[in-house]
Amino acid sequence: MRTYAIIDIGSNTVRMNLYQVKDENFSLLVSKKSAVGLASYVKKKVMSQEGIDALIECLLDFRRTAQLLNINVIDAFATASLRNIKNTEDVLNQVSSHCHIQIEILSGAQEGLISFDGALLGIHYDDGMYMDTGGGSSEIVLYDQKRIGFVCSLPVGSLNLFNEYVDRIIPTKSEITAIQDRVKQELKSAEPSKGMFRVNNLVVTGGSMRAIRELMVHLKMVDPNNFVIKPDDLSELIKVLSKDEKETIRLFLKVKADRVHTMFPGLLLIQSVAQYSRAKNIQVSTNGVREGYMIDKVLKHA
């Protein structure tokens, strides 16, 4: 029996999962996250020293937790949070010096492939589109018979959409339209040929999707045991949340306080993809890139 620590450094949150491994099977022991919001420290594609210090502080805290459990080997990876900045090497060097943690930078394609591997066992549908929504990017995988056919990365996520388009906390009608148009524009640019993104089944993972499902359960729009929702339900949710800004903020604080500013942009992102793809079903996946990283980078090399 072995125990591994995996740290996922995202644009919005940094999370550490501790897994227990027996033979080729693993189970989650502990999950700890911090809403560092690294994307907010990036100006003109350069992360400020304040942002680097916030990351270092978070990683030192995670390292202390791991060491208390006698875990001294930590695998860490970063996605859009560090791959889309100009001073990546400086960040990596400072983290290595202060935290003694080596960070692997995943490309958009790598992130999509690894995330799909992590979700694969729990996917209901043999064919469709898989999407991993993050704070700074969203990875798309088209698959058939649960085999990958096409992978791409969209430069839009819940946090950078909020930073770019939302003036307050809850987007206005014009801001909603601007976000939806931007997502559709990115999908159209990424689509290899017209109609290729048309699917019946959409599988979505990521913090935004899980938070939205929690919100829908709270509002009794979804049964607590149901992980498949209809695209029309997302459109209806947008209408409900657009009625009263103050009540919506209170609702977000009650359900998922750390995502109060990114939940609505995340909802618009997922709804726009569902609408563009004309999906009939949306499955919420509880597994993704961290589990895939565990499989591809740890178990296959153990």
- Report how far residue 230's alpha carbon sits from residue 78's, in angstroms, rounded to the nearest whole number: 32
206-216 pLDDT per residue, tens? 999 999 999 99
Cβ pair 103, 76 in contact under 8 A: yes
pLDDT beyond 80 at 72: no
224-278 pLDDT per residue, tens? 999 999 999 999 999 999 999 999 999 999 999 999 999 999 999 999 999 999 9
- What per-residue confidence (pLDDT) applies to 300? 75
Query: Of 47, 164, 35, 134, which is closest to residue 94 (Cα–Cα)?
Result: 47
- Report how far residue 296's alpha carbon sits from residue 298's, in angstroms, rounded to the nearest whole number: 6
- What per-residue confidence (pLDDT) applies to 301? 66
pLDDT beyond 80 at 1: no
CA torsion sign for 36, 37, 42, 43 is negative
CA torsion sign for 182, 188, 190, 195 is positive
Mean local confidence (pLDDT), 68-79: 91
Angle between helices 231-241 and 263-277 (to 10 degrees): 140
Residues 6+ apart with CB under 8 A from 77: 6, 7, 8, 9, 103, 104, 105, 106, 293, 297
Task: Give DSSP secondary structure letters for 215-270.
Answer: HHHHTTSS-TT--EE-HHHHHHHHHHHTS-HHHHHHHHHHHHGGGTTTHHHHHHHH
First CA to last CA across the chain, in angstroms?
Answer: 12
Whose tokens are 């009608």? That residue is: 173
Whose tokens are 């048309």? That residue is: 198
Q: What are the distances in angstroms from CA 170 to CA 2, 37, 152, 189, 246?
A: 45, 18, 29, 27, 9
- What per-residue confidence (pLDDT) applies to 302? 59
Mean local confidence (pLDDT), 158-163: 95
Q: Are β-strands 103-105 and 128-133 bridged in parallel, bridged antiparallel, or unpaired?
A: unpaired
> Taking all residues of the chain, what is their mean pLDDT, rounded to a whole number?
95
- Report how far residue 67's alpha carbon sits from residue 189's, in angstroms, rounded to the nearest whole number: 46
The neighbouring-strand residues paired with 5 are 18, 74
- Report how far residue 40's alpha carbon sits from residue 157's, in angstroms, rounded to the nearest whole number: 13
Cβ neighbour number for residue 149 with a 10 Å cutoff: 11
Per-residue confidence at 22, pLDDT binned at 50, 70, 90?
Answer: confident
Mean local confidence (pLDDT), 53-65: 97
Q: What are the distances in angstroms from CA 120 to CA 19, 132, 139, 152, 246?
A: 18, 13, 15, 17, 39
- Report how far residue 295's alpha carbon sits from residue 68's, in angstroms, rounded to the nearest whole number: 24
164-212 pLDDT per residue, tens? 999 999 999 999 999 999 999 999 999 999 999 999 999 999 999 999 9
Element (H, E) at 299: none
Rounded percentage of the chain residues whose pLDDT exceeds 90: 92
The neighbouring-strand residues paired with 203 are 130, 283
pLDDT beyond 80 at 76: yes
268-291 pLDDT per residue, tens? 999 999 999 999 999 999 999 999
pLDDT beyond 80 at 89: yes
Q: pTM to 2 decimals?
A: 0.94
* Residues, the chain: 302
- What per-residue confidence (pLDDT) applies to 160? 94
